Amino acid sequence: MSIYFSQLDEEHAWRFRSPHWVHTEASDDKHLVTLTGIVIIDFKGTGTGWLRDKLDLALKFPPIIPGGMRFQVEHWAPFVTINAIANDQHAVNAGWAVDEFGGPGPVKILNAIGLWANLAVRDVDGYCYRLGYSLTVSGVFTERSPGPG
């Protein structure tokens, strides 16, 4: 099972705090985009063993793509880290982790881009509340294929 939050979905939008982006046009029609922010996840442990789950985020891509085009991701550098944890009672074998993370891969995007992280928490009252994220992608604008999307 996976935890999924989309910055484009009104139901989840409140979870994304302090979102920022930077766009730089480089040589040879290459573009560099960096997205950063914090996401509220409320991931709670269940006992003395590690509870693991995958977090999938859909981040809003900045409004830089010309009409009729998509952004072709060529290179990506993701980063996800713990920003806030808590333990309600006595900590017994408590622990929190971002085990690994990854980016979108070489995809064509229009308005959202994906980022994922494998999370872990242990202790029955251990919480991971917030994660920080940074995603830098480089790529080019390409013509949009006919059809949906």
Q: Is residue 149 a part of any domain in this protein?
A: no
- Residue 13 lies in domain: 2-141
Q: Which of 73, 90, 66 is nearest to 136 (CA)?
A: 73
Beta bridge partners of 124: none
Q: Is residue 134 a part of any domain in this protein?
A: yes
**pLDDT (0 to 100) of residue 93:** 83
Work out the percent of the chain whose per-residue pLDDT is above 70. Answer: 97
Going across the sheet that includes 108-109, the strands are 16-25, 31-44, 126-143, 69-87, 108-109
Our count of domains for the chain comes to 1
| pLDDT higher than threshold 90 for residue 144 | no
Q: Is residue 146 a part of any domain in this protein?
A: no
**pLDDT (0 to 100) of residue 48:** 87
Q: Is residue 131 a part of any domain in this protein?
A: yes
Instruction: Give per-residue pLDDT as tens, 27-85.
Output: 889 999 999 999 999 999 988 899 999 999 999 999 999 999 999 999 999 999 999 99
Instruction: Give per-residue pLDDT as tens, 82-138.
Output: 999 998 887 778 899 999 999 999 999 999 999 999 999 999 889 999 999 999 999
Q: Is residue 13 a part of any domain in this protein?
A: yes
Q: Is residue 114 a part of any domain in this protein?
A: yes
